[in-house]
Amino acid sequence: MNLQSSIDGFARLGRERQIKFLAVLGHNLTIAARDTYEFQSSHVVSPERLRQINEIQHRVFGHIIALLKDDVGRYPDDVLVSIVLDQQDDRLRKQAFWAFDDALRKANAA
C-alpha cells in the first residue's frame, strides 16, 4: 500500500471499525518497538526510534479517545494516517506500514 491508498482504506471504515483498527494498530506498534531494545534486557539500542513509536502511539490512542467521545476536533483521517505512516526513518516507515496494513486487514475482516 501507499500513503493515499492507506488514507482511503482508513476513511472507508466506519467509526466502530476505526476504533478497532486503531486498537490493533497500537498493539502492532508495541511489537515494532520491541526491536529498539535488547532481548531480555533493559538496554535500549535505538532510543530515537522508540521515542518516535511512542509519539505515534500517543496520537493513535488519543484518536481512539476522540472517536469514543465523538470529538469533532479530532485529526482528520488523512492527517492521522500521515502521522502514522509519513516517517523519515526507513525502518520505522516499513514497520509503520506493516502495522497499519495488518490492522486494516483485521478491521476489514471483522
Q: Is the pLDDT of residue 1 over 80?
A: no
pTM, whole model, 2 decimals?
Answer: 0.94
Phi, psi dihedral angles at 44 (to 5 degrees): -90, 125
14 or 110, which is more confident?
A: 14
Fold of 3-109: Substrate Binding Domain Of Dnak; Chain:A; Domain 2 (1.20.1270)
Angle between helices 77-85 and 3-12 (to 10 degrees): 130
The dihedral sign for the CA sequence 103, 107, 108, 110: positive
Average pLDDT, the chain: 95
Domain spans, the chain: 3-109
Three-state secondary structure call for residue 7: helix
Question: For residues 81 and 61, what is the distance between their CA atoms, to the nearest angstrom?
Answer: 13
